[in-house]
Amino acid sequence: MMWVERQTARLMGRTGLAAAMVLAVTLAGCSSTAKDDPNSQASLDKLYADAKDDLQGGSYDRAIKTLERIEGRAAGTLMAQQATLELAWANYKSGERAQALSTLDRFIKLNPSSPALDYAIYMKGVINFNDDLGLFGSIARQDLSERDQQASRDALLAFRQLVDQYPQSKYTPDASQRIDYILNTLAAYEVHVARYYYKRGAYVAAANRAQQAVQEFQRAPAAEEALFLMMQSYEKLDLKPLRDDAERVLRKSFPNSAYLREGFVDGKAWWKLW
């Protein structure tokens, strides 16, 4: 029995040693595989760090390619969501506005419960807002109210969605301020068009456009001129009851209106300071 026990112990010792050796080799192989695996967390972290460096350095085209790789390799993870948001921003900064908005729409559709959904909606608004207003870069050369306002309207929709759905979001206060600015700009645009029609004798079109501005943007500063344009257009059309109604609303809403005292005033845009 003693011999049997000694042989069994010796065999078990050899087996244990062999098992340990196999385990060590296996672990080493796994370590090597994890290091070389393009889908490993370490590889993804490295890619993301590279993309962030490119974004900060303004190398947007290179960042876009890296972020697209991360999106594919990390699909279904929070890292993939973050990469999508970074990708939208990189596309926008590289001048691909349509692609940036398409990427954000895809993010919103695929990640309805994402903790970053409020940011995605906010970014949609910011991209449209900056595209239409150009960060005030063209203020000295062009009246903002004279430009096509579709981007402003798209920005308004996004900001209103954010305010309605995420009132506690940290982006909501800024969105609210931008909403006020956009409303004023849209109202000024409608009045600009109404003024254009009026000066060319298209009084029906002028009255209708001015009325649209008043109905849609009652609290905007441009509503004052819109009411005056309605009043003057109805006067030209010899529609006295409508003319009197417009004047009554103008006097009630803007009792100190310069239009009532002086008629048409300097046509300089409301935002110009020079």
Q: Give the per-residue pLDDT at 84.
A: 95
Question: Any idea what the Cα angle at residue 128 is, between residues 127 and 131, rounded to 5°?
Answer: 85
d(C-alpha 211, C-alpha 5), whole Å: 105
Q: Give the per-residue pLDDT at 20.
A: 39
**CATH, domain range 192-262:** 1.25.40
Reading the chain (274 residues) residue by residue, the pLDDT tens digits are 433 344 334 433 444 433 433 334 444 444 444 456 666 888 888 989 998 998 999 999 999 999 999 998 888 899 999 999 999 999 999 999 999 999 999 999 999 999 999 999 999 999 998 765 544 444 444 554 455 678 889 999 999 999 999 999 999 999 999 999 999 989 999 999 999 999 999 999 999 999 999 999 988 999 999 999 999 999 999 999 999 999 999 999 999 999 988 876 544 443 333 3
Q: Give the per-residue pLDDT at 149.
A: 78
Q: Give the per-residue pLDDT at 139.
A: 40
User: Are residues 224 and 250 in contact, defined by beta-carbon separation less than 8 angstroms?
Assistant: yes
Q: Give the per-residue pLDDT at 262.
A: 82
φ, ψ (nearest 5 deg) of residue 87: -65, -40
Query: Tokens representing 92?
Result: 């926008």
Q: Give CA 232 to chain center in angstroms.
A: 39
Extents of the domains making up the chain: 44-94, 192-262
Q: Give the per-residue pLDDT at 13.
A: 45
With H, G, I as helix, E, B as strand and everything else as coil, classify residue 61: helix
Of 173, 83, 183, the residue nearest 129 (C-alpha): 183
Q: Give the per-residue pLDDT at 105.
A: 96
Q: Give the per-residue pLDDT at 271.
A: 35
d(C-alpha 67, C-alpha 146), whole Å: 38
d(C-alpha 98, C-alpha 82), whole Å: 19
User: Are residues 73 and 48 in contact, defined by beta-carbon separation less than 8 angstroms?
Assistant: no
Q: Give the per-residue pLDDT at 264.
A: 66
